[in-house]
Amino acid sequence: AAPPATRAAIDAMLSQPLAVMLDSVRASLQAQPVTRATLPAEIVRDWVAPDGRERVQANPSGDANDNATIHRFRDAVLAVTPAASGLPVATQAAAFTIAGAFVQAGAIAFLLVSLFLWLVLRDLREVLFTLAPVILSIFLTLGTCVVIGQPINFANIIAFPLLFGVGVAFHIYFVMAWRGGATNLLQSALARAVLFSALATGTAFGSLWLSDHPGTASMGKILMISLAWTLVCALVFEPALLGPVRTKRQRR
């Protein structure tokens, strides 16, 4: 058996944390009035500025997860106090910044791709033949998202620049073949190559759609929709848009 002194030391070591916890519980059960003087200084500083100005917090009425509700709330608050800040103001400002950056990046990408197509093709008509189906597939993708109720958010908006690149890559093959005098484009090996390339790309996009992450899954879903419309425009709309094969004189 352990000596009495050792047992006493062990009992003290085990009982001391219990005593501290019981004292903490006992103190928490003894409620006292809370005033500004009894609050910690860091908490007071969050609500009262050193010059005496006090912070006022307002919450929107309605669904706080609805973007339209947050937008109306932000406009109403800023109409009263333009210096307001907080999550609704920051969220809307971030949304405007991201949307503006996306529009700017899309315009720059469109101009650069158009410039490169002009340098390669040297024909404005052929440049338009390449870009028109891409623009059509973008509008069809957006229309499909509206019909099925798929929202466009910060996670899946990146799908549209990818759609622009994939669409141009598919359509320029048909334009170059038509320019070279190829006929029966839909029955050609080129059409089968584009189809198999789209299927291979679709496996990657489909794996994103099956993701457990909601943002990644929505991005994969929009990519699959856009890829399907890009393939339809490449195999159906593009050959119809190109029309009859030009003669050698016209090609020169």
Q: Based on the fold, state whether residues 34 and 65 are members of the same structural domain.
A: no
Mark which of 121, 137, 158 sits at the end of a domain: 121
What pLDDT was estimated at residue 112? 87
Nearby residues of 57 by Cβ (< 8 Å), 6 or more positions away:
86
Token representation of residue 194: 């584009």
In a shared domain, residues 147 and 114: no
31-52 burial code (b ≥16 CB/10 A, e <16):
eeeeeeeeeeeeeeeeeeeeee
Same domain, 117 and 130: no
Residue 2 has pLDDT above 70, yes or no: no
> What single DSSP character describes residue 244?
S
Q: How far is CA 166 from CA 110, 171, 188, 246, in A?
A: 13, 9, 20, 26
Considering the domain architecture, whether residues 117 and 127 belong to the same structural domain is answered as no
Residues 6+ apart with CB under 8 A from 13: none
60 Cβ contact list (under 8 Å, min separation 6): 69, 70, 72, 73, 88
State yes or no: pLDDT of 250 exceeds 80.
Answer: no
pLDDT, averaged across the chain: 81
146 and 240 in a single domain? The answer is yes
Q: Are residues 100 and 141 in the same domain?
A: no
- The label of the residue with tokens 């390669």 reads 120
pLDDT digits (tens, 9 = 90+) for 105-148: 888 888 888 898 888 888 888 888 888 888 888 889 889 989 99
C-alpha 173/C-alpha 189 separation (Å) is 11
Residue 97 has pLDDT above 70, yes or no: yes
Helix (H, G, I), strand (E, B) or coil at 54: strand
Q: What pLDDT, on a 0 to 100 scale, did the predictor assign at position 57? A: 81
Q: What is the pLDDT of residue 245?
A: 65
Phi, psi dihedral angles at 48 (to 5 degrees) = -130, 125
Which residue intervals of 122-247 are DSSP H helices? 124-148, 159-179, 189-209, 214-232, 238-242
Specify whether 38 is located in the same domain as 15. yes
Contact 194, 233 (CB under 8 A): no
Given a contact cutoff of 8 angstroms between Cβ atoms, the answer to whether 32 and 39 are in contact is no
CA torsion, ordered 92, 93, 95, 99, to nearest 10 deg: 140
Averaged pLDDT, 221-241? 87
Task: Identify the helix (H) or strand (E) that includes residue 68.
Answer: helix 67-80
Q: Do 140 and 241 lie in a common domain?
A: yes
pLDDT greater than 80 at residue 227? yes
- Both 96 and 181 in one domain: the answer is no
pLDDT at 168: 84
pLDDT of amino acid 184: 77
Q: What is the DSSP letter of 186?
A: G
Which domain covers residue 130, as residue numbers?
123-251
pLDDT computed for residue 4 by the predictor? 65
> Of 106, 121, 136, which residue constitutes the final position of a domain?
121
Domain count, the chain: 3
Band of residue 202 on the pLDDT scale cut at 50, 70, 90: confident
- Please indicate, yes or no, whether residues 43 and 66 belong to a single structural domain of this protein: no
* Polymer length of the chain: 252
pLDDT digits (tens, 9 = 90+) for 45-84: 888 888 888 888 888 887 777 778 888 888 888 888 887 8
pLDDT in tens, 162-200: 777 777 888 888 888 888 777 777 778 888 888 888 888
Q: Are residues 31 and 107 in the same domain?
A: no
Q: What is the DSSP letter of 245?
A: P
| 163 lies in the same domain as 96 | no
